[in-house]
Structures are given as C-alpha cells and as structure tokens.
Amino acid sequence: MSTSQGPGELRPRRVRITSPRTSAARRPTVPTGTREIDEQTRLGEVYMNSLIQSQLRLTLAVIGVTVLVLGSLPLLFWLIPPTRTVAVLGLPLPWVLLGIAIYPVVYVAARIYVRKAERIETEFTEFVGRQ
C-alpha cells in the first residue's frame, strides 16, 4: 500500500465508534399475532374466537360421543331383555357395564380430549407466532 505522506507526517489514528447502548438488553421482537392479542385489537379478537370455537367444537364432540356410548347401554338393556339377566363373574351384566366398565370409557375420552386440546393450542401458538 503506497502512501502519499511524507516521512515527517503521521497517519491519523483510527477511532472505533460504537453505540453507547451496545451492552443494553435488546427488546425481543414480538410476533404481530401475539401483539394483536395482547393489545386486544379486532384481529386479536378474531384469533381468540377461533381458538375458543375450536376448543368448544372438540368439547362438544367428546361429550357427544361419550354420552352416546354410555347412554346406549340402558337402551341396550331395555331393547334386549336377556342382557339384564346375564351374569359376568357372578355379577349382573348391567352392574358390570355401568358400575365398572364405565370408568375406562370415561378415562379414554378424557385422554383423547386432553391430547387434542393440547394439539389445538400448539397449532394456535405456532400460527399466531408466525403472524
């Protein structure tokens, strides 16, 4: 590198210029969807209503199927009278079904509900985070 300075001239010293706030914590960028919900704008309200409707649809579906399955048992006993007298392990079939078998059905329904509700919330969070 050639210089046009003479032997007696000194080069100017380099100065590094930095912002006084370089060590300050930076504000995280909040996705627009999250901001819309936090600020309770019309778009945020639409987002929340869609989440609530999805959860309500799931709730009604799980309750409906559970009521249909459990509610059909008394109908079965009424329509087919011999089922009232059948014994399983020394207990009448209606007692076994309504007193014992009902709990696994309710447990499975609850597990399905929780798993799908978590999936809905995860998808909602990912969608809002992308906006």
Number of neighbouring beta carbons within 10 Å of residue 33: 18
Residue in the block written with tokens 């309770």: 40
Cα–Cα distances in angstroms (integers) from residue 39 to residues 45, 103, 121, in the given order = 10, 44, 20
- The first and second tokens of residue 90, run together, are 């020394």
Q: How does DSSP classify residue 89?
A: T
Which tens digit of pLDDT belongs to each residue from 38-48?
A: 888 888 899 99
Which tens digit of pLDDT belongs to each residue from 42-91?
A: 888 999 999 999 999 999 999 999 999 888 988 999 999 998 889 998 99
Which tens digit of pLDDT belongs to each residue from 83-116?
A: 888 999 899 988 898 888 899 989 999 999 999 9
What is the CA 102 to chain-centroid distance, rounded?
28
First to last CA, the chain: 51
